[in-house]
Amino acid sequence: MARGDNVFLTGATGFVGSHILRELLAAGYAVRALARTPLSGPGDFTFVRGDLRDVGAFAHALNGCRYLIHCAALYSFAPRDRVEIARVNVDGTASLLAAAHLAGIERAVLTSSSATEGHAESGYHRSKLEQERVAFASRVPVVALLPTAPVGPGDRKPTPTGKLILDFMRGQIVAKAPGHGGMNLVAVEDVARAHVTALKSGRIGERYLIGGENLTMDEIWQMLSEITGRPMPRWRAPYALALTAAYVDELRCVFTGATPAVPLEGVKLSRERMYADSSRAHDALGYTPTPVRAALERAVEWFRVTLSGVEG
């Protein structure tokens, strides 16, 4: 039984982390949730104020916990954030797991990324690959989960995938992707449940891809068109034009410190099919994804209710 087992959760205010918190509480775990600012949630848990850049300030809160789920990460396309991405995602993970070892944590579940399987071109994705390396080199038994692109309600920041949904709802997607690529989308609730299952069922040292459905970008736009009532874009942006715009935008951001409007990484990946196979997670964790269309519907409805000025 989970009841009575203490879990230390990082990233509890994030998109995936907030859903993991909900699933942990539903399973009966006692949760200590790390965040930089106070948070409210769907049940009774202990808030721990802290930042991965200063693990020593909250390390004492790990004492008495049996498990750790490390979901916190810094994600940004902005050139200004590249140093901080490595500091949080790599150095912060190393410090956290060192503290977890001293606290007697029995097992840690690490939230990595499916991009570490071959699409690690950006600073963020390289940091997740390095994060895995320092985690598996630590003295804490680690299981790594590699989600693809989660979609669903509660994407407050939003994530890059959530921004695509929001931009489509606002009528800001006027052209099809410049390539003929695709990606794997997964319901965020499925990702959260997989983390809770991995606490007991994941094999130490293993990496599990957590995906949903492999879809071309055109199929994603078509699905969103049907859900929102927005027309499907007809024109396809030429790759060379999109790549030039992305390089110009990257240069602008280097000099101004702004966040890219045309992320270079996104354009480069637009011609790739970033698909995933979750059969290993199915065999080991009993993982079975739910329909992505329903998750997109929940995401669209959440954006409609939560954010003002959103149509579709």
Which tokens in the block code for residue 297?
A: 């519907």
Query: What gap in Å lies between CA 65 and CA 176, rounded to an integer?
Result: 48
The pLDDT value given to residue 1 = 44
Residue 309: which pLDDT band, with cuts at 50, 70 and 90?
Answer: low
Instruction: Name the residue type at position 172.
Output: Q
The pLDDT value given to residue 3 = 53
The answer to whether the beta carbons of residues 282 and 103 sit under 8 Å apart is no
Strands 213-216 and 182-187: antiparallel
Query: What gap in Å lies between CA 241 and CA 254, rounded to an integer?
Result: 20
Going from N- to C-terminal start, the domains of the chain cover 6-306
pTM: 0.91
CATH class (in words) of the domain with range 6-306: alpha beta
The pLDDT value given to residue 253 = 76
Residue 2: which pLDDT band, with cuts at 50, 70 and 90?
Answer: low
Query: What gap in Å lies between CA 178 and CA 233, rounded to an integer?
Result: 12
Tell me the HSE value of 114 on the side-chain side, using a 13 A CA sphere. 21
Q: Is the confidence at residue 4, as pLDDT, over 70?
A: no
Tell me the HSE value of 66 on the side-chain side, using a 13 A CA sphere. 10
Which tokens in the block code for residue 236?
A: 């396809």
The pLDDT value given to residue 229 = 95
Query: What gap in Å lies between CA 177 and CA 224, rounded to an integer?
Result: 14
For 159-213, what is each residue's pLDDT tens digit?
Answer: 989 999 999 999 988 877 776 789 999 999 999 999 999 999 999 999 999 999 9
Q: Is the confidence at residue 311, as pLDDT, over 70?
A: no
Query: What gap in Å lies between CA 291 and CA 207, rounded to an integer?
Result: 23
The answer to whether the beta carbons of residues 8 and 68 sit under 8 Å apart is yes
Residue with tokens 């993970």: 93
- Distances 66 to 156, 213, 309 between C-alpha atoms, Å: 30, 33, 44
Torsion from C-alpha of 226, 15, 119, 109, nearest 10 degrees: -130
Q: Is the confidence at residue 34, as pLDDT, over 50?
A: yes
Tell me the three-class secondary structure of the chain, residue by residue. CCCCCEEEEECCCCHHHHHHHHHHHHCCCEEEEEECCCCCCCCCCEEEECCHHHHHHCHHHHCCCCEEEECCCCCCCCHHHHHHHHHHHHHHHHHHHHHHHHHCCCEEEEECCHHHHCCCCCHHHHHHHHHHHHHHCCCCCEEEEEECEEECCCCCCCCHHHHHHHHHHCCCCCCECCCCCEEEEEEHHHHHHHHHHHHHHCCCCCEEEECCEEEEHHHHHHHHHHHHCCCCCCCECCHHHHHHHHHHHHHHHHHHCCCCCCCHHHHHHCCCEECCCCHHHHHHHCCCCCCHHHHHHHHHHHHHHHCCCCCC
For 105-157, what is each residue's pLDDT tens digit?
Answer: 999 999 999 989 875 567 788 899 999 999 999 999 999 999 999 999 999 98
Rounded to a whole number of angstroms, the distance between the first and last alpha carbons of the chain is 44
